[in-house]
Amino acid sequence: MNIRQLSIFLENKVGRASAVIDALSESNINISALSIADTAEYGIMRIIADNPQKAKDVLTDTGVMVKITNVLAIPMGHKPGELSRLLKILTDSDISIEYMYAFVNEHNGGAVLITKTNNPEGAIEALGKNKITPLTENELF
Amino acid sequence: MWNKEIETMPREQIKALQSERLVKQVKRMYENVPAFKARMDEKNLKPSDIHGIEDLSKLPFSYKSDLRDNYPYGLFAVPMKDIVRVHASSGTTGKQIVVGYTENDLEVWADAIARMLTEIGVDANSFIQVSFGYGLFTGGLGAHYGAQKVGATVIPMSTGNTARQIQTMIDFGTTVLFSTPSYAMYLAEEIEAMGVKDQLKLKVGIFGAEPWTEDMRKTLEDKLGIKAYDIYGLSEIMGPGVACECTAQAGMHVWEDLFIPEIIDPETEEVLPAGKSGELVFTTLAKEGFPLIRYRTKDICSINLEPCKCGRTHLRINKPSGRSDDMLIIRGVNVFPSQIEEVLLKVSNNAITPNYQIIVDRVNNTDTLDVNVEMSESMFADEVRSIERTEKQITEMLRSTLGIGAKVHLVNPKSIERSEGKAKRVIDNRKL
């Protein structure tokens, strides 16, 4: 029930992010969500896109360091209190979040939380008890 | 002069003295240093084949790698009970190289520096601030004992803490400064900024352990109100004082009663005549603890046989103009790219060494060292803290291996410029 995310190493130089996005655009890859973790020296760009394997190959060919990482895509309503409820479920099960970002998903009129936790199986189990099932890649796109 | 008889000895007599000492030393090394005997045996040479300096070119060369292969004490020619001091410097790999001195070696070393000091007007009335690093590096203690030998008041400052260095100069009445030229430049600028030049009693600066230019000399002399002199040395041969400038400031005298310099073509290994530029090779003549025959310094310079105005008969070498290997001198510390490579190999768990590039520059008169490392599959992770851990690990290992700090930058794979498939390893932007 994991989905694949692209984790991309970005040097802290003008034009690096743009080069990555251009390469994906030229290969007709559609991006659903994106976030950047940055430090003074470099960044990690995280992307949810259709066809992650093709995206990885395209980026590797252009000399970008990229890895595919498994993350959870958790559906939620697009209204106040929803994210708070999800986080409480995870916290109550003692699950730590490494990172997260969210986006509104027109597809089902709701929103999606992308997260990597220290315990994906535990997270799925805890969410299941609350009748929440993480999305598959097919459901997402 | 400190030792007029030696320093003005007619050249014929110097050569006779060299021949006598060389013959004795070859015999002693053959008997006491197995690695030297093996080299001689390879060439089918016996000590009895060496009759004087005319036979010098028959003798085998020695290299920095010999020090590594015989680490730590394998090349010493006396029992360890007679070694009273060791010093160390960078090797081409993570392992440092070790040199040893007998009590007499330390005397000779101090004497070599005393000859220079006397010539440039330093004596028992001087206050000498030694701002070379003290410790395994030969600079601090080498200068210290030379300064003590002439009876000067020695101020053993070592490096760092610039404000305190300057305050000490003012309060203690420092007249002579020993340091690296880049540190002296830094001090000069601070002194200017503090507006305390008038309170200084500095007359003489002795600078060495890294390359510097005539322009730097002029700037230092103007800003500090001193005469600035160049001193040359390397741990393997002795330390600072192997060659030093006189008041003529036109090349450094090599004390030929202690050392024989030769200039060779580093490719053909042929000995070159005076005036021709090539690799400097040294044979020690008075060292007991750790003598060396025809040691390849990798420094590129030339020999000047013309008589010097100062009256000394010992030949001069010109300021080294470069290296025949890839060694860098950064903030006075010898750095080999191979040391950096070794660290990266360890970080990547001995898989493939990531491509890297070393960028050396001089900013505000201080050398900077940046190391760009291409990101590899094994180094990259999805989490910032994991990459930061890798970066920190490289930075710390570089500091402990090189002895100086380097700024590490992780860069994209294949982003380091390659020429003919080979990455250009070193970019030195310093104008030296």
Q: Which two tokens stand for residue B410?
A: 């992780």
Domain boundary among B295, B325, B355: B325
pLDDT at position B351 is: 61
Contacts of residues A130-133 at CB distance under 8 Å and 24 or more positions apart, as own/partner, are: A130/A89, A132/A74, A132/A75, A132/A86, A132/A89, A133/A1, A133/A75
Cα separation, A130 vs B47, in Å, equals: 91
Tokens 């970002």 found at = A101
pLDDT at position B326 is: 85
- Both B309 and B371 in a single domain? no
B177: helix, coil or strand? strand
pLDDT at position A21 is: 95
Query: Are residues B61 and B43 in contact, defined by beta-carbon separation less than 8 angstroms?
Result: no
Cα separation values, B426 from A66, B336, B416, Å: 27, 10, 11
Q: Which of A4, A9, A48 to mutate to test the interface with B (most CBs of B within 10 A)?
A: A9
* CA-based R_g, chain B, Å: 23
Q: Which two tokens stand for residue B195?
A: 């507006």
Q: What is the mean pLDDT of each run of 10 residues along chain B (432 residues)?
A: 96 98 98 97 97 97 94 97 95 82 98 96 97 94 97 96 96 97 89 94 94 88 96 95 95 97 96 96 98 96 96 95 87 87 79 82 89 86 88 92 91 79 80 71
- Both B400 and B312 in a single domain? no
- Both B121 and B170 in a single domain? yes
- Both B248 and B376 in a single domain? no
Residues 42-81 of B with CB under 8 A from A: none
The domain that contains B97 carries what CATH number? 3.40.50.12780
Burial of B191 (0-12, 13-18, 19+ CB in 10 A): buried
Query: Are residues B372 and B340 in contact, defined by beta-carbon separation less than 8 angstroms?
Result: no
- Whether residue B408 lies inside any domain: the answer is yes
- Whether residue B115 lies inside any domain: the answer is yes
pLDDT at position B421 is: 60
> Does B387 contact chain A (CB < 8 Å)?
yes
Which residues in chain A are contacts of B381 at CB distance < 8 A?
7, 67
- Whether residue B42 lies inside any domain: the answer is no
Closest-CA residue of B relative to A63 is B413
The reported pTM is 0.78
Which residues in chain A are contacts of B376 at CB distance < 8 A?
65
Of A109 and B37, the one with more pLDDT: B37
Closest-CA residue of B relative to A39 is B384
| CA–CA min distance A105, chain B (Å) | 24
Cα separation, B221 vs B229, in Å, equals: 10
- Both B225 and B316 in a single domain? yes
The domain that contains B422 carries what CATH number? 3.30.300.30
- Whether residue B24 lies inside any domain: the answer is no
| CA–CA min distance B376, chain A (Å) | 7
- Both B265 and B359 in a single domain? no
- Whether residue B14 lies inside any domain: the answer is no
Q: What is the DSSP string of B332-401?
A: TEEE-HHHHHHHHHHHTTTSPPPPEEEEEEEETTEEEEEEEEE--TTT--SSHHHHHHHHHHHHHHHHHH
- Both B86 and B108 in a single domain? yes
Domain boundary among B298, B325, B352: B325
> Does A65 contact chain B (CB < 8 Å)?
yes
pLDDT at position B414 is: 82
- Whether residue B11 lies inside any domain: the answer is no
**Eight-class DSSP state of B426:** E
Domain count along chain B:
2
Which residues make beta-bridge pairs with A83? none
Choose among B240, B244, B241: nearest CA to B253. Answer: B244
- Measured in residues, chain B has a length of 432
Closest-CA residue of A relative to B409 is A41
Which residues in chain A are contacts of B415 at CB distance < 8 A?
11, 63
Cα separation values, B19 from A84, B36, B102, B323, B416, Å: 90, 19, 23, 29, 52
pLDDT at position B93 is: 67
| CA–CA min distance A38, chain B (Å) | 8
- Whether residue B41 lies inside any domain: the answer is no
Closest-CA residue of A relative to B411 is A11
- Whether residue B21 lies inside any domain: the answer is no
pLDDT at position B378 is: 79
Which stretches within B33-173 are classed as H helix?
A: 34-42, 64-69, 103-119, 138-149, 162-172
- Both B196 and B135 in a single domain? yes
Domains and CATH numbers, chain A: 3-68 (3.30.2130.10), 71-140 (3.30.2130.10)
Domain boundary among B273, B297, B325: B325
pLDDT at position A39 is: 85
Which residues make beta-bridge pairs with A104? A111
pLDDT at position A59 is: 94
**Does the distance separating the beta carbons of B375 and A9 come in below 8 Å?**
yes
pLDDT at position B94 is: 66
Residues 336-375 of B with CB under 8 A from A: 375
**Does the distance separating the beta carbons of B388 and A39 come in below 8 Å?**
yes
Per the structure, the complete domain to which residue B374 belongs is given by 330-428
Q: Pick from B384, B414, B415: which is nearest to A44 by CB? A: B384
